[in-house]
């Protein structure tokens, strides 16, 4: 690892980057209160927006300018304004080329960089970004998983990926994400994932969670990550193979058209998968195809399927209480019972 992380652990590098960004007034967080809702036995942690604030007002003119801007505009609005990647090509501005050096945490092999999320709901929210431009909607590569695992093995948490705007991505430049979670069992869906994995028929096969009313597929990754803990490239290759297995599994479940061509070695060429969310912990990986960005104004990204939802208004919270979180997720994904027909039509 190079850059500011030299001579420190990865977690030290994250703490130092957060402290630096706060001192310089360039890190903006969204203030929330948490409420736990249960639906069909599955807990959901709903963060309800209470206010948005700028975090830190540094002594420089640059940081003072940022602090003033944050004091007069909402951090959520600032984040939305920054999400310009899905407008016209003429208006496209890439925030990662170049990336803001104030957000830098560490260089990540191979050819990735770890950055702070400038508008975090969860403190310590990280982005793992490709150094050169790659589309957020194109097929993930071994190097993406190697870089992600390089960070995840040193920074316990939940990794996730939003493939495209429909799946909740705000930028076209490829970025995977990581939020700290300690211990792993604090992830709301972790218990049901472990229970479902324990009932799977084949140790290496895909499995489903009975409580989830939407199309999805999961695999158990604990054996791979435990055996190859510090071998980033080989672990990345194993995780990439599991990821491809999930993509093909949900495509076959839904009756979707093949998204690429396999050569004799099993690689996928020139693939452009359907929109989906991906979740990864050292123990399991979950993939959910997507058809809508939001339900009743509640935007959902990969974290929603991990059991984390964000309600921006009291009315959205009441809707979640009344209809249930699983209803919202089933609306933005494909309902398992009708997934084949819906997914085929969306293609």
Catalytic residues: 175
Give CA–CA dist 61/344, Å, rounded. Answer: 55
Give CA–CA dist 160/151, Å, rounded. Answer: 12
3-state secondary structure at position 37: strand
Q: What's the chain's length in residues?
A: 347
Contact 8, 16 (CB under 8 A): yes
Name the residue among 179, 162, 188, 159 with its Cα closest to residue 293: 162
Give me the DSSP letters along 271-318.
--PPSEEEEE-SSEEEEEE-S-SEETTEE--HHHHHTEEEESSHHHHH
Token code pair at residue 289: 């195809």
Contact 235, 282 (CB under 8 A): no
Name the residue among 273, 214, 213, 282 with its Cα closest to residue 248: 273
HSE (CB half, 13 Å, CA atoms) of 259? 25
Give CA–CA dist 40/43, Å, rounded. Answer: 8
Using alpha carbons only, how large is the chain's radius of gyration in Å? 20
HSE (CB half, 13 Å, CA atoms) of 341? 3
Token code pair at residue 36: 């736990």
Give CA–CA dist 187/191, Å, rounded. Answer: 8
């Amino acid at each position: 690892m190079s850059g500011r992380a030299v001579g420190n652990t990865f977690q030290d590098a994250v703490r130092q980057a957060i402290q630096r960004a706060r001192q310089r007034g360039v890190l903006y967080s969204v203030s929330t209160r948490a409420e736990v809702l249960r639906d069909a036995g599955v807990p959901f942690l709903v963060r309800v927006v209470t206010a948005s604030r700028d975090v830190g007002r540094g002594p420089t003119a640059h940081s003072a300018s940022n602090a003033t801007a944050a004091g007069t505009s909402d951090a959520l609005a600032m984040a939305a304004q920054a999400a310009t990647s899905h407008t016209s090509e003429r208006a496209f501005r890439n925030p990662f080329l170049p990336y803001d050096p104030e957000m830098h945490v560490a260089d990540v092999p191979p050819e990735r960089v770890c950055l702070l999320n400038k508008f975090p709901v969860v403190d310590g929210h990280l982005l793992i970004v490709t150094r050169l431009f790659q589309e957020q909607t194109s097929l993930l590569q071994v190097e993406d998983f190697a870089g992600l695992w390089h960070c995840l093995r040193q920074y316990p948490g939940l990794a996730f990926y939003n493939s495209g705007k429909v799946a909740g991505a705000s930028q076209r430049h490829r970025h995977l994400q990581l939020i700290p979670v300690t211990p792993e069992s604090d992830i709301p869906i972790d218990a049901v994932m472990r229970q479902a994995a324990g009932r799977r028929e084949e140790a290496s096969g895909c499995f489903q969670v009975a409580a989830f009313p939407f199309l999805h597929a999961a695999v158990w990754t604990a054996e791979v990550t435990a055996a190859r803990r510090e071998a980033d490239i080989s672990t990345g290759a194993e995780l990439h193979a599991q990821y491809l297995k999930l993509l093909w599994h949900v495509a076959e479940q839904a009756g979707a058209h093949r998204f690429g061509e396999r050569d004799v070695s099993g690689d996928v060429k020139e693939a452009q998968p359907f929109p989906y969310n991906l979740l990864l912990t050292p123990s399991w990986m979950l993939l959910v195809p997507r058809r809508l960005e939001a339900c009743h104004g509640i935007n959902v990204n990969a974290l929603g399927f991990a059991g984390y939802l964000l309600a921006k208004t009291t009315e959205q919270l009441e809707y979640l209480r009344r209809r249930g979180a699983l209803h919202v997720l089933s609306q933005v994904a494909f309902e398992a019972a009708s997934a084949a027909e819906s997914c085929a039509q969306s293609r």
